[in-house]
Amino acid sequence: MNIHEIAKRAGVSIATVSRAFNSNSLIKDDTRRRILQIAEELNYKPSPIARGLSTRQTDTIGVILPDLVGEFFMDIIHGIDEETDKSDKYILVSSSHSKRNIIEILIEFLSSGRVDGVVLMAPQINKEITKLVKKSKRPIVLINAGKDIEDVVNFHIDNYQGACINIEHLIGHGYKNIGMITGPAENWDAQERYAGFSDALEKHNISLQPNLIIEGDFSIKAGFYGFMRLMSQPEKPDAIFCANDMMALGAYEAAKTSNIQIPNDVALTGFDDIFLTRLIQPRLTTVHVPVVELGSKAVRYLLSMINGDVDPNTPYVEALSTGLVIGGSCGCKVNSFHSIL
């Protein structure tokens, strides 16, 4: 079945059928409805390639993430995919993964003509990337870029708020020697989580002890060795905040290896609320991050920019709030599976 048969049955020209599929304003609504109904009856779908030649659009969204491995990134892709599927769009995903320069990937996407816009997750964004984003003729939406990055469209998690409620919960238990395994120093998410940690301590007049701060890299391995270093010190922490759940999983493994009981010997909390944390005992107290929503909101806004519903030159920033998931790792006596505050 092809476009010629649609035109014949509808009693219109091939050009009119093409306009109906491309939502051209020159065609009357009743004619468009009749053509689309015939197409549906014949189970016909227009070729995206042919449609692209007509509209100068590819119906494809480019997605650039730091990595494609791990539950966090898969959830972002899931949110993006759900939203693009609703709009009959496609996604083209790439990862910098420290092997390819993120600027090279972005330029390749923008210059190839293969995408109508880009969702870019760049927690380590720099001035060069920001300059490229602002100069781009195709719309770009950033995910988790620093909130101090101006004149861009940026959707991000309120990392600071999440870390604050996490630490204040530990303080509420009476813990005072609170240590932290941080993320990479150059990572904006890590910086905000550390700021929330330190400010929460200061708010409650608890001294930040530099010897209880270990830099990690968001990996299980970093959590394992960070926990071992903290618990091998003469003055041990009574609670440890891991800047993400993957490091918290590494800390659990280290505790098991060292015969250290969580939370009896040391309390432990994380950040992200990944599914794996629901399978360990005691259940990890962590910060819930609406990752799927983050991906869907970013691509929904990008599609609005592509369709002309939103001015692509108008900056927009939205922070998604977090919540605390209570488990037993902090010392709470929890009967239910989990609860979010």
Hey, do 60-158+291-320 and 159-289+324-340 end up sharing a CATH topology, with the first three levels equal? Answer: yes
Q: What is the pLDDT of residue 48?
A: 57
Q: What is the pLDDT of residue 340?
A: 45
Statement: 159-289+324-340 belongs to CATH 3.40.50.2300: yes
Q: What is the CA radius of gyration of the chain?
A: 25
| pTM (whole model) above 0.85 | no
Q: What is the pLDDT of residue 33?
A: 86
Q: What is the pLDDT of residue 320?
A: 94
CA distance 179 to 251: 12
Tell me the domain boundaries of the chain: 3-55, 60-158+291-320, 159-289+324-340
Q: What is the mean pLDDT for each group of 10 consecutive residues in the chain (341 residues)?
A: 80 81 74 86 68 63 82 88 88 70 74 84 73 82 80 91 97 96 92 97 95 95 97 95 97 96 97 91 95 93 91 89 95 61 45
Q: What is the pLDDT of residue 211?
A: 95
Q: Could you tell me if 124 and 192 are in contact, meaning their C-beta atoms sit under 8 angstroms apart?
A: no
CA distance 128 to 125: 8
Q: What fold is seen in the domain 3-55?
A: 434 Repressor (Amino-terminal Domain) (1.10.260)
Statement: 60-158+291-320 belongs to CATH 3.40.50.2300: yes
CA distance 90 to 140: 16
Amino acid sitting at position 257: T
